[in-house]
Amino acid sequence: MRWCSSSAFHLLRCVRLRLCSRRGRNRLPLWIREIWAYMRLLAKSLYVNSLTDSDVVFDSVFEPVFLTVDYITRWFGLVFVCLVVILTSSIVVIAYVVLLPLILNTYSPPWIAWHVCYGHWNLIMIAFHYYKAANTSPGYPPTEKHDGPVVSVCKKCIIPKPARTHHCGICNRCILKMDHHCPWLNNCVGHFNHRYFFSFCLFMTLGCVYCSISGRNLFLDAYNALELLIFFFVFCFGKTHYQTPAPPYTFKDKMIHKSIIYMWVLTSTVGVALGALTIWHAVLISRGETSIERHINSKETKRMAKWGKVYRNPFNYGRLNNWKIFLGVEKRSHWVTRVLLPSAHPPHGDGLTWAVYPVKKDLIPV
């Protein structure tokens, strides 16, 4: 029995050695085996990691789509900036060439002074804040080691991230207190240019509403004149013999009417759309959060509610104090010199460290 068992074991060992030798001869090239091992590692990383969830899988699958959108947005940034400049300039030209002569000829001196002063003030505020929002750096965390507090490490930059810092795929770097990437500015909206962005939206909305209200009667007159002209041409081409004289409109009158209609339609449309965006950002500022933090805080509120707890935004210092911090108001006079007049003062804080609630007194007492 001992001899039989040892003989069988020896036979099995020989068969195994021969199979292994044959398998070694038919082995695939090294570069194919390395690619196959890398693909297996990628596949395992989707379900082996304990931190993997549906968001991670979704981001991994749609990463090429995100990269394409980021590339297109980055490339079209200059196009959007040129579009803003061209459209705004066209409204300014119409206001100077068409509306201002009408105002000077028909309005009383007090109304002329009001329109001239308000119109130029609004135009200066729009141009100043747009230029500053587009050319001011939103703020970036230091790439070297520092003693400031951090909350995590960026997966793409591989650098420590301070609180309220997020990575922008279009700018391809982390942004301090990032709100969003604005293609109309070709720049990120972050800690150092958030006030410029909001002020531009606010004064652009006020300017569009001002043009829409002031030009309403002119728009109705121009629309009725063009409608009468179109009716005349339809009537003429519909009959062989006619005796109706043509409306006494010259080429200049027609261009003026079309310009007024173009200005009113554009300003009314932009005023409604941009006004809704401005109101939304005003609500976020009152709550002490950005657009990204709004999404994060909403998810955190639902997560804490499952545990029977209430989530509080750690960067909400109260409505009035949130506005004072955002606008950089440190004295009563700053409501005029820093809010109602062009001001290039820096925001409160460095964007790296933030005080958290509860705040017993105002961070900026006014």
Tokens 């009113």 sit at which residue?
264
pLDDT per residue as tens digits for the range 66-78: 677 777 777 788 8
pLDDT score for 355:
80
Average pLDDT over residues 111-125: 94
Structure tokens given for 204: 């652009």
Mean pLDDT rounded to a whole number for the chain: 82
Among 14-23, 216-225, 315-324, 332-341, where is mean pLDDT lowest?
Answer: 14-23
Instruction: Tell me what percent of the residues of the chain surpass a pLDDT of 90.
Output: 43
Instruction: Tell me what percent of the residues of the chain surpass a pLDDT of 70.
Output: 79
Query: In which band, very low, low, confident or very high, does the pLDDT at 225 lie, cut at 50, 70 and 90?
Result: confident
pLDDT at residue 240 above 50? no
pLDDT at residue 250 above 80? no
- CB of 301 within 8 A of CB of 342? no
Cα separation, 203 vs 197, in Å, equals 10
More confident residue, 26 or 351: 351
pLDDT at residue 228 above 70? no
Is the link from the previous residue into 101 a cis peptide, with omega within 30 of 0? no
Structure tokens given for 346: 């820096």
- Which range has highest mean pLDDT (123-132, 240-249, 329-338)? 123-132
Among 21-30, 93-102, 284-293, where is mean pLDDT lowest?
Answer: 21-30
Annotated catalytic, 182? yes
pLDDT per residue as tens digits for the range 197-211: 999 999 999 999 999
Three-state SS string over 18-67 comes to: HHHHHHHHCCCCHHHHHHHHHHHHHHHHCCCCCCCCHHHHHHHHCHHHHH
Q: Which residue among 168, 182, 201, 211 is the active-site one?
A: 182
CA atoms within 13 A on the CB side of 49: 11
